Amino acid sequence: MSWLPSASTARHLFFGVVIGFSLSFASTSVVSAYRKRKEASETARANLRPIELRGDEILDGVTGLIGNTPLIRINSLSDALGVEILGKAEYLNPGGSVKDRVALRIIEDAEREGLLQPYTGSRIFEGTVGSTGISIATIARARGYDATIVMPDDIALEKVKALEALGANVERVRPASIVDKKQYVNLAREYALHFSGAKSPSSHRAHSRILKKTARSVSLNGNGNGHHASFSEESHSHARGFFADQFENRSNFDAHYSGTGPEIWRQTNGEIVAFVAGAGTGGTIAGTGQFLKSVADDILVVLADPEGSGLYNKVKHCVMYDPKESEGTRRRHQVDTVVEGIGINRITKNIELALPVIDDAFRVTDAEAVSMSRFLVQRDGLFLGSSSAVNLIACVKLARKMAWSNGEKIVTVL
């Protein structure tokens, strides 16, 4: 049996085989563990990778935040009535209201027409009860302009503080009728003309030119503030006074016709049955209403009108009249109301555009508005202002009047 290995050789062979199997198993286990760790690491990196932004998701400054606001379902009212009451969350605009759209469109249109040039010391003037002033002050700063806001002295002090914080010059004046030269809108127009250096700012010719163009500016003889290094001293001689004129300016209407209206139509997939809004200048209900009617003429456009405003009777009876202005009770100044921003007793250019498309109107009392504001805070966690409350009261009244209860979509502005 000489061919058999010795005991020593057999022992070495055995240990070699055992060690070989052990190393093979160990290496396989190591490779498997490495692969698992690598896969886990790649999964973790995939989950933690930075958010990839498309070019259109990077907004161009504060003005990029304006518009494309969401629709919010008002759960408490919708559930109670069996309809879908949807609020366009315009308070999410950087200036806190729908007026951001208007201010931006007015300024952009003025720039396109050569009436304004940024960083030249130009100043924008406006007469407003607050919201438009805040929007103008916000956008003016972002676009290289100064702002002067003229407003009634009975407006909430919080709005004044906000305007001043935004760097606007604020002048508060006694509430007065539009026929009074000291009415806040008339004063804003006059200040713009004075800023321009016009020799006769009160002349008929200058006044007519302002009304005809609605947003006019005149060259100022050197009052530049040197805001931007890229403009020479010569360019500062072209600083201008510009009267925004939200009540009469067609840009107000256009902002909603091309923006708010199409957004609502897309967000509701065209299933909207009614649009409800108050009117101050009239631009929101005019522009949005006309667009919605242009795509579906059976959509109801409904006015929400507060106490002291004559628009309700203008829609219902074709006469601009409010009961509180009846003979023997009419006050010299506007009727007191807690509602700010909507309601008016005169026909503006933008309201003229609204009247043909308004199908119905509801009057809302101060008590109803206050109750709705408190209800929304308690039931929906929505802290909204008086004009939003008026809009939602009108939505409720419309749903009840039409006996809707099958999920019909009613849209309003918050």
Same-domain check for residues 214 and 288: no
Same-domain check for residues 218 and 286: no
Same-domain check for residues 81 and 103: no
Q: Which amino acid is at 346?
A: R
Query: Residue 236 falls within a domain, yes or no?
Result: yes
211, 243, 275 - which closes a domain: 243
Q: How far is CA 341 from CA 99, 295, 306, 338, in A?
A: 10, 28, 10, 10
Query: Can you point out the beta strands (E) in 169-295?
Result: 169-173, 217-219, 240-243, 272-277
| Residue 137 and residue 164 in contact, taking contact as beta carbons nearer than 8 Å | no
Query: Residue 405 falls within a domain, yes or no?
Result: yes
Same-domain check for residues 232 and 361: no
- The per-residue pLDDT for 213 is 39
Query: Residue 23 falls within a domain, yes or no?
Result: no
| Residues paired with residue 72 on neighbouring β-strands, in sequence order | 87
Q: Which amino acid is at 362?
A: F
Query: Residue 260 falls within a domain, yes or no?
Result: yes
- The per-residue pLDDT for 59 is 87
- The per-residue pLDDT for 183 is 93
Residue 139 CA to residue 244 CA, distance in Å, equals 13
Q: Please state, as a whole number, how many other Cβ atoms lie within 10 Å of the Cβ of residue 237.
A: 15
- The per-residue pLDDT for 327 is 54
Residue 259 belongs to a domain with what CATH number? 3.40.50.1100
H or E element, residue 256: none
Range of the domain at 139: 99-243
Q: What is the pTM (predicted TM-score) of this model?
A: 0.77
| Residue 396 and residue 80 in contact, taking contact as beta carbons nearer than 8 Å | no
Q: What pLDDT digit, counting tens, does each position of 34-48 carry? A: 677 777 666 655 554
Query: What's the total number of domains in the chain?
Result: 2
Residue 220 CA to residue 235 CA, distance in Å, equals 11
- The per-residue pLDDT for 156 is 85
| Ranges of residues in the chain whose predicted pLDDT is under 70 | 1-31, 33-34, 40-56, 196-237, 321-336
Query: Residue 43 falls within a domain, yes or no?
Result: no
- The per-residue pLDDT for 331 is 54
Residue 213 CA to residue 227 CA, distance in Å, equals 28
- The per-residue pLDDT for 326 is 59
H or E element, residue 135: helix 131-143
